[in-house]
Structure 1
Amino acid sequence: MTFSIAARCAETGMFGIAISSSSPAVAARCSHARAGAGVVASQNITDPSLGFSGLEMLATGATAEEALGRLVASTPFADYRQLAIVDARGHVAGHSGERTLGTHAMAKGEGCIAAGNLLSNTGVPQQMIAAFEASSGGLPSRLLNALAAGLKAGGEAGPVRSAGLKVVHNVAWPIVDLRVDWHDQPIEALQDLWAVYEPQMEDYVKRALDPNAAPSFGVPGDE
């Protein structure tokens, strides 16, 4: 039903997650990130509250392993949940309950973790990690490269319909929060959306922090 990769950029301190699913609007339920704290992917018969709770734990200093243990212990339905966590130091932890759907797998790398369920094969997460670690450039692009690699490696057993990219940095809101909620080729559409948004990403942050120093909006009537 879902495959994702969550990561921390060691150079910038950014956190992010890229995710795709056969279900609609997967990123609305499964992707959770907070600047300075970390990332939580809460997927497979999703309970979004686990993502919010996990971020609170990370924000107060819990490691990925500690947060994972507390989340699993806190829910009576841990067997149904798949969780992937990255903490502020780039440590990772993951859980796939006994009732995780279909073929499922998880892979870990340096500051990154990939997980999936109802996969076409168990090698998908490892291919995502390999693509992420081999990529250069900014964190959003690397996450998208990894997501595309997961699809190329087989992705889900069936066609995917939604995808999302979320990245946080030095402000209280996501600097990237892009979603394709229903599409025949959602990962490709998400890549196209990122190509449009990438050149403007920093401008939106500048406009929020200091409109007087921000670039023009570049729309008709803006002089």
Structure 2
Amino acid sequence: MTFSIAARCSETGQFGVAVSSSSMAVGARCPWVLSGVGAVSSQNITLPALGPEILAALDQGATVSGALDDALSRDAHCQYRQVTVIGRDGHTAIFSGSQTLGVHHAVQGKACVAAGNMLAGKQVIVAMVSAFEKSQGSLADRLILAMEAGLAEGGEAGPVHSAALKVVGDQSWPLVDLRVDWADAAPLARLNDLWRAWQPQAQDYLTRALDPRQAPGYGVPGDE
């Protein structure tokens, strides 16, 4: 039902997750990021609580494998989960329970980890990691490129209907938090359009938050 990639940018220290699913509103349940700590994608038969639990453990100094194992040990239904984790050192961990749906796969790459279930084939995940490792540019650009590479290899076995992109930098809130909660077709293309619209405005919104005195004009009536 879902394929995703979580990654860390070695240049900026940003963490991010990109994900797409046949289910509605995948961005509300699966991608989790925490500034300076890591990123998690919790998918398959999703337990959203796993994301915050794992990130909290990483923040307290746990290893990625230790944080993942500890969270799963408290989930009586862990065999239904598929989870990927990347931490501040770029180390990754993966879990695909025995009840993971359909063709499923997970691959740990350089500063990234990708996984999916109900896939057209395992090559989907291999292609995502390869595309990310070969790419350059912003973390958001690279995550979307990886997702597009997976889609080109078949993506899910059936049509996908939602997609999301979440990236965190130095602040406690995400720099990028974009979602397509439902589309009859091509949610990744719509997500890419949202990112292209948001990208040139992102720094302005960050400036407004950190120092409104330096903010550019708002472009609304009464703004001087």
Instruction: Normalising by structure 2, report the TM-score.
Output: 0.97
Matches within 5 A, 1:36-185: 36-183=36-183, 184-185=185-186
Aligned to 1:199: 200
Aligned residues: 223
Residue 222 of structure 1 deviates from its aligned partner by 3.0
Determine the structure 2 residue equivalent to 1:2: 2
Amino acid at match of 1:150: G
Displacement of 1:217 in angstroms is: 2.1
Moved more, 60-69 or 23-32: 60-69
**Greater mean alpha carbon deviation, residues 29-38 or residues 71-80:** 71-80
Structure 1 position 218, deviation (Å): 3.4
Residue 9 of structure 2 corresponds to residue 13 of structure 1: no
1:11-47 deviation digits (Å, cap 9, x = unpaired) = 1000000000000100110010010110010001100
Moved more, 24-33 or 55-64: 55-64
Q: Which moved more, 1:160-169 or 1:60-69?
A: 60-69
Any stretches of 5+ residues in structure 1 without a counterpart? Answer: none
Counterpart residue identity of residue 101, structure 2: L
Aligned Cα root-mean-square deviation (Å): 0.9
Q: Distance in 2 between matches of 1:220 and 1:122?
A: 53
Match of 2:210 in 1: 209
Q: Which runs of 4+ in 1 moved over 6 A?
A: none
Return the letter of the residue paired with 1:200. Answer: Q
Could you tell me which amino acid in structure 2 is paired with residue 153 of structure 1? Answer: E
Question: d(CA) in 2 for partners of 1:22 and 1:44?
Answer: 11
CA distance in 2, matches of 1:34, 1:126: 26
Amino acid at match of 1:196: A
Residue identity opposite 1:206 in structure 2: T
TM-score (norm 1): 0.98
